[in-house]
Each structure stands twice: as C-alpha cells, then as structure tokens.
Amino acid sequence: MGVEDSARVSARVSRSGASPRRCRLPVVCAKGGDHPAIYYFLRPMFQGPSRDEYNASLEDPFYEPSDRLLIRCGGQITAHVHLIHRTMQFGALEIPVVGLGWLATAPECRCRGQGRHLLAAAERQMSRSGALVGLLRTAVPRFFRQTGWALCGRHCYSQGDARAVLAKLLDRGLLRKHRPRFKIRPWRLWEQDALVRICGQNLPGTYGPLQRTPAYWKWLIRRAAYDQFYVALDGPELLELGEISTHIVGYAVTKGAKILELAVAPNRRKAAAELLARVCGDAIEHNCHCVSLHASPTSSLHALFRQAGGERYYREDDKGEVYMARLLNPLKLLRLMCQEFHTRAENAGLVLPLELGLAVDQKKYRIEVGPAGAKVLSQRLGRSYLRLNVADFTRLVLGQLDWNEAIADRRLEASTGVARRTGHALFPRLPFWRPPFDDLQA
C-alpha cells in the first residue's frame, strides 16, 4: 500500500481476449535465489524497476521472498506478482491490508490465461495471510474488475504559483517577515524518532494512511525516493541525540516542487506554513513557478492554494492511473467495524435497536445495532436491506460510495426508506486518502 500498497501495474499486463485459454501451470512462491531472475524479468516489462528500487523492495522490513508469486514455463519465469503487507489506519481501526504490485506476464505467454491465473492465486494468498483489504494502483482497471476489484480512493493535491502562495501566507499573517518563529532545515539521521512521533500524532481518525513502525520509517528514508526532507524546529538548535530533547514539530518531504507529505505536531499548525514557504522558496530559486501539495481532502492548506489562485484536484484518475480495492474477508471486516457502527448510529440519533441487511450478489449480511453494541450476522437479511453489487459494496464499506449516483443509476436499491436512512448513517462518505510518499519509487 504502497499503501503498496501502492501497486503499480503496467498497461502491458496480460491483455487476454474474451475467451482466454485456461492456464494449468502451477503458481509457486519465490525463493531468495530467484531475486536476480525476477529483476531481469521485470525490467523489460515496465522499463523498471530501477536496481535501487528493486533492492529497496527486498529490504522492506515486512518482506519475505514468498511474497512474490511466479509462473514458470520450461524453467523460465513467465509471470510475476508481488504482495506487499501493510497496516492501514481506518478511523479508530487498524486494518491489515495487502498491496498488489508488479503484476506482469511475458509477451510470448499472453492470451493464455496466465495473468488471470496468477491474480486468482494472489487473491487466495492475500486472504490466507489474514489481510482484510487488497489495494493497488493501475492503468488497466478493466483487468481487475472481473475478480471483484473496485475503483476506490482518489488522488488529492493542490497546485499553485509559488510566489502567489508565499504572498498569501504573508497576507494571512502565517509568516513573519523578519524573524521566523520556526527554524526550517534538512532532517538529520538521528532524528528519526521525531518523525515517528509526529506521524503517529496525525494518524488517529484518518482513513487510508499506513501505520509506520520505526523499522518502516528507517526503510522509507534509506530508500531515498525523495529529493528533500525538511524539519521544523520550535526552539534552539540542539545537538543531543535523544528524541527527549528535540524541538522538532513538523516535517515535509519533497520531490522536485511537489510536497509529497507535510505533517506537524498538534497545536503547531503555523509550522506547516513555514515548511510550505521553504518549499516555495526552493522552487523560486530553481526557476520553477508551480508548486504542488499532496494532502488529505480535509487539509486546510488546500483552501490557501485556492485563495492564492491555485486549484485543488480531487479525482479518481491521475496520469492514467486509478486506485482500486478488494474486500478479502467482508464478514470479518464488518465485524471489526461493529464498535464504529454503534458510534455512528448514536451520533446520527438513530433509534436503537435497529438492523440493516446487505444483499451483495449471492451473499447476505445483517448488521444489528443495540444500546450495548453491534453485531454482524451472515446469511441473514431482514426486512430493511440494501441491494448492491460487489464493487459498490466495496466502496460502501470503505466510505467511498456516491449514494446519489448509485441510487440514480439503480446500482443500489433500498427495500424501505428506513434502510436508506440507516445505510446513510452507518456508511457515511469518508475522506479516504493514501499519502504518495509510501508509493514513491527510488
């Protein structure tokens, strides 16, 4: 997830015809000795990964050689896919997810069903691993729709003129003209604990970002897929190595004039303005007039870009790529969300007890919410229910369903008015967003 979750799938991925031949070759897990052969197999498929990126993927703290699935024919690799294990923050929940990346079939073996055969095996292994959601990023969504993957998640970023953004920061009093409140400088190796702290402080209540352990942060930094990594200090410069003495209150990661991630400690929001100002200053020095900020849809900095004459982009497709998701164990995920259902019902002022059925193709689920909590039953529906397809069910659970559009297109049908109101309350639209820093390639 990147999320790898952030799985990049090339347009060269197995483009089988309407009736591909069934592949009978076995799917096997890779071993450590297969790594050189896998690298040379992938290079012509994607014009990548670079050697640095491939080596970085092997150093991922959650990586095992068995996370790569292969099909061989005559001793040669003819198909490959990489499963990337992560944990995703989803409100108050931590959900195990798996990213699917680098799915490719050798040109001479396409239209033989190998791509679909490998994808089916990957989905089974993803489910066996205990993951509840699969994630990927692809330019060929039609290939994945056939097995239950759904468009889910949007690219969100703002773009604006660097000088105009700086001027707006000054106009709003977010910057001091002479003595900046915060010291902005490049990050130093021994300050990793501060990054872990600030990232963790911003995680609760978000939907989509990945959990980052100290080992994962170390890997992200060693991967060196960024250009600059700035930190904001509130207080004097300190040389002690312990996080206990640090005054770091924020950080920004950039690639060229793009801010891939910007985070500050609670109650230090003005540090975000000075980090943004530093990036704008760098862009101007390099004669780059446009800066962009990738941030959650709820970030207040998007409004600042609009006030400076810039634009915010919030769309499914960006440069030909979309995000997709697949529910690997819907029943277990719904049961994990029981406390969330109870909280949402109470916040919406619904009369308890209540129930809501979900008819998803041939499967049935029923959510029952009472004064003491909630539970989810399988193979039961009840009188008040919603009927929808697998793709819309995925978007519903992850808070990405456009209710009005789904109802207008008759993709979602409510058996009663109560079912519709209850569904709105239990499955509201959520600001689901995945930071691109996790997916950036070296």
User: Whole-angstrom Cα distance, residue 187 to residue 184?
Assistant: 9
SS3 418: helix
Per-residue tokens: 395: 């978007």
Residues 283-308 pLDDT 10s: 999 999 899 999 999 999 999 999 99
Q: Is 2 helix (H, G, I), strand (E, B) or coil?
A: coil
**Lowest model confidence (mean pLDDT) among 1-5, 76-80, 146-150:** 1-5
What pLDDT was estimated at residue 180?
78
Question: Does the pLDDT at position 8 exceed 70?
Answer: no
pLDDT recorded at residue 238? 53
Specify the pLDDT at position 131: 97
Residue with tokens 């963790």: 200
Specify whether the CB–CB gap between 146 and 110 falls below 8 A.
no
Tens of pLDDT, residue by residue over 52-90, are 999 999 999 999 999 999 999 888 999 999 999 999 999
Q: Which region among 175-179, 239-243, 344-348 has the lowest average model confidence (pLDDT)?
A: 239-243
Confidence of residue 2 (pLDDT cuts 50, 70, 90): very low
pLDDT given for residue 246 in this prediction: 59
> pLDDT tens digits, residue range 302-342?
999 999 999 999 998 888 899 999 999 999 999 999 999 99
| Nearest-angstrom CA–CA distance, 254 and 256 | 6
Q: Share the mean pLDDT of the chain.
A: 90
CA-CA-CA-CA torsion sign (336, 337, 339, 341): negative
Task: In whole angstroms, give the CA distance from residue 282 to residue 288.
Answer: 8
CA distances from 279 to 274, 365, 438 (A): 9, 49, 20
Q: Is the per-residue pLDDT at 24 higher than 70?
A: yes
Q: What is the pLDDT of residue 153?
A: 92
Beta bridge partners of residue 153, listed in sequence order: none
pLDDT score of 267? 84
Give 226-264 pLDDT, tens digit per residue. 999 999 998 765 554 454 445 899 999 999 999 999 999
Predicted structure pTM score: 0.90
The DSSP 8-state label assigned to residue 14 in this structure reads: -
**pLDDT band, very low/low/confident/very high, at 34 (cuts 50, 70, 90):** very high
pLDDT at residue number 141: 94
Neighbours of 186 (CB within 10 A): 8
What was the pLDDT predicted at 386?
97
pLDDT, average across residues 14-30: 68
Buried b / exposed e over 212-227, threshold 16 CB at 10 Å, is beeebbbbbbebebbe
User: Measured between alpha carbons, how far is residue 400 from residues 243, 324, 340 in Å?
Assistant: 38, 11, 16
Q: Residue 167 has which token pair? A: 């001027």
Q: Is the pLDDT of residue 401 over 90?
A: yes
pLDDT of 179 over the 50 cut? yes
pLDDT band at 129 (very low <50, low <70, confident <90, very high): very high
Predicted pLDDT at 175:
85
Nearest to 280 by CA among 301, 250, 298, 266: 301
Is 50 exceeded by the pLDDT of residue 15? no
Per-residue pLDDT band at 181 (split at 50, 70, 90): confident
Distance between CA 442 and CA 260 in Å, rounded?
14
HSE-CB for 35 with a 13 A CA cutoff: 15
Identity of the residue numbered 151: L
> Residue 244: how many CB atoms within 10 A of its CB?
7
pLDDT of residue 12: 43
Percent of the residues in the chain that have a pLDDT greater than 70, as a whole number: 92
Q: Domains of the chain by range and CATH?
A: 8-151 (3.40.630.30), 156-315 (3.40.630.30), 329-426 (3.30.1050.10)
Place of tokens 């703290």: 61
Asked if the model's pLDDT at residue 426 lies above 70, the reply is yes
Q: What average pLDDT does the segment 109-118 reach?
A: 88
Q: Cα angle at 301 between 255 and 166, to 5 degrees? A: 75
Q: List phi, psi (to 5°) of 53.
A: -65, -40
∠ CA 9-10-16, rounded to 5°: 95
